[in-house]
Amino acid sequence: MEMTKRLFRSNDRMLGGVCAGIAEYLDWDPTLIRIGYLILSVISAAFPGILIYILLWIIIPPRY
């Protein structure tokens, strides 16, 4: 029986658990995802990165 992976916000959170949830889904280190997201946000003048994070916070369900 094959289990499907699901994307959830993580309980290992710094803000909303979005980056840690993505890291858990990809089996990566959450710190790498957070640093990568920070670099991409700074390169894109921060506003789109903040907006995308808020949208992901709303869209990705929490882990209960």
Residue 19, beta-bridge partner list:
none
Residue 19 confidence (pLDDT) = 94
pLDDT in tens, 4-52: 889 999 998 888 999 999 999 999 999 999 999 999 999 988 788 889 9
Using 50, 70 and 90 to split pLDDT, how confident is the model at 3? confident
Total-model pTM: 0.85
**What are the DSSP calls for 8-60, one per residue?**
-B-SS-SSSSHHHHHHHHHT--HHHHHHHHHHHHHHTTSHHHHHHHHHHHHHS
62: three-class secondary structure by DSSP = strand
pLDDT at 58: 96
